[in-house]
Amino acid sequence: MAPIDVADEVRDALAAGKPVVALESTIVAHGLPWPENLDIGRALEEEVRRGGAVPATIAVVAGRICVGIDGATLERMARASGAERWRKAGVADLGVLCARGENGATTVSATTFAAARAGIRVFATGGIGGVHRGDSGDVSSDLTTLAREPVAVVSAGCKAILDLPRTLEMLETLAVPVLGVRTNEFPAFYTYTSGLPLEHRVDSAADAAAVCHAHWTLGGAGILVANPIPRAHALDAAQISRAVEDALADAARNGIRGKALTPHLLAFVARATQKRSLAANRVLALSNAAFGAELATALCTQTPTG
């Protein structure tokens, strides 16, 4: 039997054809310090509920992939520090954590994988991983997982520290459609636009749901639903660009790479922007949770094509 436990509320909602939105747990374990991390974890779930859907925060708990965790587990994860901090778990780490009975906070790839196994079609996050800048060959498994799993991932594009043009090219190579929500440009996480045009635009959750249904009917897998940060909360593109370049240079000087790179870069950018990037991250994550609930609802109410 697969080591996957689906919470009763989530299982009941799926069985009844009600909307469910998956949420990652890395933002709680690794994205923010205590107690802001617990606050954002709770706020994301509440935003999904406000939109009429059931939230399913995903994590690995004592070797079990839990699709939906209770409040006590969420708080335990948020409080953990030092050697007790929950492992950052990508899809490739799940088997190891399950075999060893360990705790893990799921990234986009692991959350997408688990959501698909549970039958959840919508996952809301801040930003996905992608192709890193430079010639390191560092490409996130978020992209290849999207190419395999039939889940619509709502995000504000990919993280601003990445190579956005190459990430878009990779998504095209992997046959992952990118839908701009009320925009013709790929959003750039902290900033509303990137200057990179998108081929496909949707102007409502119903429009996005129709595309998702058609894509899955044709045998397609993941879809990236690119929902820009609300304009009023977007940061200055030039300031973010400078902060990212400085962060990359600092990481290179200190030999930081692999899984440690993204948290280091995001923390550096937070310091460089006097924590304005953290505030923007919160806003965009909540915006994506809200649209995720709309999309999940539309998927449940529309009749699939075909």
Any idea which residues carry the catalytic annotation? 24, 159
C-alpha distances (whole Å) from 29 to each of 25, 97, 181, 208 are 6, 16, 29, 31
The count of C-alpha atoms lying within 13 angstroms of the C-alpha of 234, restricted to the half-sphere facing its C-beta, is 18
- Amino acid (1-letter code) at residue 242: R
Alpha helices in the chain (DSSP H): 8-15, 26, 36-50, 71-79, 94-100, 108-118, 141-146, 164-173, 205-217, 237-253, 261-272, 276-301
| Cβ contact 73:66 at 8 Å | yes
SS3 state at 106: strand
For residue 53, which of 209, 200, 177, 190 has the smallest C-alpha distance?
Answer: 209
Using the structure block, give the residue that is written with the tokens 């058609």. Answer: 214
Pairwise CA distance, residues 67 & 190, whole Å: 28
In a 10 Å sphere around its CB, with 0-12 CB exposed, 13-18 middle and 19+ buried, how is residue 246 labelled?
A: middle
